[in-house]
Amino acid sequence: MKLITKILSLILAILMMAAAAIAVNKKILGHDIVTSVEQSLTVETDTLSLVPGGSAVIHTAPFAKKNIGYAGPVPLDIYIENGKISEIKPLPNSETPSFYKRAEVLFSRWEGLSPKDALKQKVDAVSGATYTSNAIINNVIDGLDFYLGTEAGASTSLPFKMWIALAVTLTACIVPLFVKNRIYNYAQLTANVVVLGFWCGQFLDYSLMLKYLSDGFSMPGAIVAIVMLIAAFIYPLFGRAQHYCNHICPLGAAQILVAGICGYKIRLSARVVKVLDWFRKILWAVLMLMLWTDCITGWMDLELFQAFQYESAGWGIIIAALTFVALSAIVSRPYCRFVCPTGSLFKRAENIG
C-alpha cells in the first residue's frame, strides 16, 4: 500500500509538471499544443539560399528542432562567401540571454574557415552553457554537412567533460547504496560541487525539467540529466528518499560541506521549523500556480543553482547562494529545507511534504 501511495504521488508530480510545460511552452514531448507567433522559430524554412557570385546562406532552422538547447531550439544562419564562412548569426530563440551570450563565442571557431575545414574542427562546449553550446555546435555541423552534401551529421558522442560528469553522477547514485564512509562522502560531495556544479553545470532545476517535458530528450547530451532524474524520482520508490538532494545536488553538497566547518549549530524550535516548512510549501504552491497560469515564469531562471554558472549569473543570485551556503555553517541546509522549489517538487513526488 505504501508503494502504491508513492507511485501515485510520483504520477501526480509528473502530471503537475506536464501541465506547467503545456502552459509555459505550449507543447509536450516535442508535440505542439498551440501554434503561435512565438513558435515560429521552429517552423521549417528553406535550408539553403544561394546568392549570385557563389555566396550562400545556410538556414539551420530545420535541424534546430532536434538540436535542442537549454530552453528550446537555437537556429542559426551561416553565411558562406568566397568559399569560407564569413559570419554566423543567431535567430530568435528561447535561451536565457546571458547563457546564449557566453555560448556565442563559439562562432569565432568556425568563421574564416572553409565548410570542410570547419567540420574538422574539434569544438568543445562552453562551461556554464553546456546545453546551448552543444545545440549550436550540432546545428553548425548539420548545416555544413547539408551544404557539402556529406553524411557526417551532428556529433553523437559526449564531450570529455560530460563523460566525467556522468562518472561522478553514477558514482553518487551507486556507491552510497553500499558504502557508509565519511571520507568517501566528503570526497563525493566535493566532486559534486567542483565537477557537476562549477565545471559542467549539471544539476536539476525547473527550467531543465520543463525543457525535457516540452521537447523530449536529446541523446546523448541528456544522459547525465536522465541519471539524475532517476535518482530524484525513481530511487524513492525503493526506499532511497531524497537521494538526489542528499548525494548528488551540487548546491546541497556545498551546504553539507560548509556545515562540517563549524561545530556550533543554531537549534531551531519545532515551532520555527514548522513555520519555515509551511513557508516553503506556500512558496512552492505560488510558484507552481505562476507556471500553470503562464505568469511570471521567469522565476525559474532565479533558482540558486544558476550561481554555479557564475560568469553569466546575476549578482543577486550569486549573493543569495553565498548567503545560504554560509548560513548552512550554523543552520542545517537552510535552502534545501526551507526554500528550494525543485526540492519541494521532489518531496511532493515522494509524498513527504
Mean pLDDT within 230-240:
95
Judged by phi (left if over 0) then psi (alpha if -120 to 50, else beta), residue 9 lies in: alpha
Say how far apart CA 353 and CA 346 lie, in whole Å.
9
Alpha carbon of 212 to those of 229, 236, 294: distances in Å?
11, 21, 18
pLDDT of residue 284: 97
Q: Is residue 348 a contact partner of residue 341, using CB atoms and an 8 Å limit?
A: no
Lowest-pLDDT range, 62-76, 190-204, 323-337?
62-76
Whether 309 has a pLDDT exceeding 70, the answer reads yes
Band (pLDDT 50/70/90 cuts) for residue 147 is confident
Pick the more confident residue, 63 or 196: 196
pLDDT of residue 314: 80
DSSP bridge partners of 68: 73
Closest alpha carbon to 71 in 226, 215, 227, 198: 215
Q: Are strands 76-81 and 84-90 parallel, antiparallel or unpaired?
A: antiparallel
pLDDT of residue 46: 56
Q: What is the pLDDT of residues 255-277, one digit of tens each?
A: 999 999 988 889 999 999 999 99
Model-level pTM? 0.74
- Length of the chain as a residue count: 353
Q: What are the phi and psi torsion angles at 88 (to 5°)?
A: -125, 125
Local structure of 50: helix, strand or coil? strand
Q: What is the Cα Rg of the chain in Å?
A: 22
Extract the C-alpha cell encoding 124. 568543445
pLDDT of residue 320: 96
